[in-house]
Amino acid sequence: MGAVSSVEGEVLGVYPSVMETSEMAKVTPPEQMVGGLVAVLASGRGSDFQALVDAAERGEADIRISLLVCNVPGAPVIERAERHGIPHVVIDHNNRTREDFERELHTVLVGRGIGLLVLAGFMRVLSPWFVSRWRDRIVNIHPALLPSFPGAHAHRDVLEHGVKVTGLTIHYVDEDVDHGPIIFQWPVRVFDNDTEESLTRRVLEEEHRWYPRIIQAIVDGRVRRTGRRVVIEGESGFYDVSGPQ
């Protein structure tokens, strides 16, 4: 029997456990994820998705993006996927329960043999039920130095608090928002005359530079997690450049 889960106060109901349906028993285990297929989950413009695709096409990263999943019909990221010949699936989250949405998402990903989920502006909170089935196989990028300034308005919060350095955080996704084990962080200086727009632009530039590199390290099997501590083999070389930007 499955477990009752809840997200943001919404009771999701009883989800089937992994052993109750054959398709849910086939989730790619972490040890088989190395070199495996990557799915990107996105909701909007898709600039981080584009950065991953560009890095792969330039030969800078050997990332096999085999699927884009978008929850917003007509989002610009869909056109980006079509332009590069990357298969895409639209799973509209409107007018349906969270349980129904996540069951379909899970089934699609398992059916495609996906090993790693990369969130790139995916504006949905994934439930404990879903996260538990993809543990250590969901990666997100956040435009601040977590645990400071979680949530959807990081740049605004950074400016309101008057901090001098912000940045980006790449982390595993767990059951809480912007809380999972931190894989990588990179600093970005905050200038006195920064606006949300200017700060967003500079942080996004660094996201586009670092996200492909870290995803590459994950698919290469160079990322190891013990509890909340994450180690990247060869990570010291990442920091042999000037910063913060």
pLDDT tens for residues 6-32? 233 222 223 333 333 334 434 555 555
Tell me the C-alpha distance between 198 and 133, whole Å: 38
Per residue, the 3-state secondary structure of 3-36, as one string, reads CEEEECCEEEEECCCHHHCCHHHHCCCHHHCCCC
- The pLDDT score that the predictor gives to residue 239 is 64
- The pLDDT score that the predictor gives to residue 97 is 92
Higher pLDDT, 245 or 86: 86
- The pLDDT score that the predictor gives to residue 245 is 57
Tell me the C-alpha distance between 57 and 51, whole Å: 10
Higher pLDDT, 243 or 188: 188
The predicted model gives 42-46 an average pLDDT of: 96
CB 167 within 8 A of CB 188: yes
Q: How many CA atoms lie within 13 A of 162 on its CB side?
A: 0
- The pLDDT score that the predictor gives to residue 15 is 30
- The pLDDT score that the predictor gives to residue 79 is 97
Q: Does 160 have pLDDT greater than 80?
A: yes
Q: Does 94 have pLDDT greater than 90?
A: yes
CB 91 within 8 A of CB 105: yes
Tell me the C-alpha distance between 106 and 104, whole Å: 5
pTM for the structure as a whole: 0.84
Active-site entry in 106, 142, 155, 171: 142
CB 91 within 8 A of CB 69: yes
Q: Which residues, listed in sequence order, are joined to residue 225 by a DSSP beta bridge?
A: 230
Tell me the C-alpha distance between 224 and 53, whole Å: 25
- The pLDDT score that the predictor gives to residue 174 is 95
42, with CB counted inside 10 A (0-12, 13-18, 19+), is buried
The predicted model gives 60-88 an average pLDDT of: 96
Is residue 153 flagged as an active site residue? no
Higher pLDDT, 241 or 125: 125
Sorting pLDDT into bands at 50, 70 and 90, what band is 35? Answer: low
The predicted model gives 92-116 an average pLDDT of: 94
Mean pLDDT of the chain: 86
pLDDT tens for residues 189-216? 999 999 999 999 999 999 999 999 999 9
Domains recognised in the chain with CATH numbers: 4-19+29-239 (3.40.50.170)
- The pLDDT score that the predictor gives to residue 53 is 97
The token pair at 138 is 């969901």
Helix (H) or strand (E) holding 199: helix 196-219
Q: Which residues, listed in sequence order, are joined to residue 37 by a DSSP beta bridge?
A: 114
* Alpha helical stretches, state H, the chain: 47-57, 76-83, 98-111, 128-133, 154-161, 196-219
Q: Does 233 have pLDDT greater than 80?
A: yes
